[in-house]
Chains A and B, each alone.
Chain A
Amino acid sequence: MAIMYALKSSDNEIFEVEQKVIEQSETIKKMIEDGAATGEIPLQVSSKTLAKVLEWCKQRQHKTVENENDDNKGKRKKERDEDDDIKEWENKFSDELKADKDVLFDLLLASNYLDLPALLSFLCQLVADMVAGKMPEEIRRMFNIENDFTPEEEKAITAEHGWAFQP
């Protein structure tokens, strides 16, 4: 029987999770090892975001368990199929996040707080995709950022890196 832990979100929702799933979080793993994980584990993460975190952890968990059960025969094809499945799953996961960028930001913060390096780097890539190839003005508009450079400073930076501003 798998060991279960109860996670409590910042809005007081309880999530029952298998140890193996949640141990991917270095933060929680450490809490368990230190014996600090008795009863409900309170987390500074909203229930909406925590649900996403667990969705990610379960998918990763699934993957590692299957790999362990594999014997070498026919492994390659299976791995390939699995890679395709994971890709597809990740695409769906990132499409959902792209459609709701508030969740994307919350999830990124949560992955940092819970110390989930794989999720963190996955999400950093998603945010990078939002910025890639965009002009400064477009980035400012997207994130509601005020331009605090003087025109002279802007001119100096543009001149120093002229190659990047040419079409």
Chain B
Amino acid sequence: MELKEVEESKNDVISEVVEMNRRGKKRKSRRKREKITEQATVELPDPVKEVVLQDPLEVFGGDIMLMIVRNLDARSVVLSLLVSRGWHSFASSDSLWTSKCEELWLGKAHLPRLALVPGLPKLAAYSLSVMDGKRNRIMKEDLCDHVWEYHFNKVVPEYWLNLDPYWKGTRPLMHRHFHLDGSQTADPGDTVWGGHECCYTIVTSVVGEGKLREHYVRINHWPHMFVSRKLDWSWEMSNRIYCYSSVPDANREGGTGPLPALVEYS
């Protein structure tokens, strides 16, 4: 009996060492296992064992590997692309990335035109979408493709607030449209639209490596509107006086926004 106790405490010490190697996980089950087997020889710690594992692709083949990576999040699958050519071939399969794209696009306000190019592999479509979704530089195509909701901010005089459906709590809200010729228009019957000619400019200045220094959109000579992007990939442009928000149009066939050649900074 005494002897067994000594044996066990020795195992405990081994467990401690193993535990340090394995960041403290699964201590309980390990100890239990050691007690059940009650082996006299000292077991080597697991890390040694892990090294001699075979490539699962060779063991299981591509079909099962595809089932396995279906359980992974998109980032993990992308990381696994670089393991080897063999891994790249199953981890880049369209059947896998079609559903990943659907998940990614679900609930987004806009889908990038560059990711919806017919015949584009779905993995490429996914990555282009993610990267386009992080783009903070607005392009003419973004302005012109979307319809924009427009409302005043609270600082403007009462007179203007009273004309704005956003503040009166009525619908529809005011809209603005940007055109490729550089002009801007409103919906017919817009109560605050002055009827005069409007034109817009996108101003972008860049420092080194494509980093934006200054980026704003301006209408006529009115105050700069600063551009921001929301999590659902919609845009907002605002200054102290008014605010523009892009109206969701993800259902638009072929997507919206610039094509790859036009995107310089993301």
- Interface residues of chain A, those whose CB is within 8 Å of chain B, are 92, 95-96, 98-99, 101-102, 105, 108-109, 112, 120-121, 124-125, 127-129, 131-136, 139-149, 154, 157-158, 160-165
* Bound form: Cα–Cα A147–B55 in Å: 12
Q: B83 within 8 Å of A by Cβ?
A: yes
Chain B window 17-34, contacts with chain A (Cβ cutoff 8 Å), 1 for yes, 0 for no: 000000000100110010
- Interface residues of chain B, those whose CB is within 8 Å of chain A, are 26, 29-30, 33, 46, 49-56, 59-60, 64, 67-76, 78-85, 87-88, 124, 127, 130-131, 134
* A-B pairs with beta carbons under 8 Å apart, 23 shown: A95-B29, A96-B33, A99-B26, A101-B49, A105-B56, A108-B64, A109-B59, A128-B68, A128-B69, A129-B71, A133-B75, A134-B76, A134-B79, A140-B84, A141-B51, A142-B53, A144-B51, A145-B55, A145-B83, A148-B84, A149-B84, A161-B81, A163-B127
Closest CB in chain A relative to B173 CB, distance in Å: 34
Closest CB in chain A relative to B233 CB, distance in Å: 14
Q: Tell me the nearest residue of chain B to A105, going by C-beta.
A: B59
Q: Tell me the nearest residue of chain B to A91, going by C-beta.
A: B29
* Bound form: Cα–Cα A109–B61 in Å: 10
A residues within 8 A CB of B69? 128, 131
B residues within 8 A CB of A125? 71
Q: Which of A95, A112, A142, A162 contacts B26 (CB 8 A)?
A: A95
Q: Tell me the nearest residue of chain B to A162, going by C-beta.
A: B131
* Bound form: Cα–Cα A127–B59 in Å: 12
The reply to whether B134 and A143 contact each other, CB–CB distance below 8 Å, is no
Question: Knowing A120-B67, A124-B71 touch, does A149 contact B127 (C-beta < 8 A)?
Answer: no
The reply to whether B60 and A142 contact each other, CB–CB distance below 8 Å, is no
A residues within 8 A CB of B29? 92, 95-96, 99
Contacts A99-B30, A109-B59 supplied; 8 other A-B pairs, CB < 8 Å = A102-B53, A105-B60, A128-B68, A128-B72, A136-B79, A136-B83, A145-B87, A158-B82
Q: Which of B71, B73, B80 contacts A136 (CB 8 A)?
A: B80
Q: Tell me the nearest residue of chain A to B25, going by C-beta.
A: A98
The reply to whether B51 and A133 contact each other, CB–CB distance below 8 Å, is no
B residues within 8 A CB of A143? 53-56
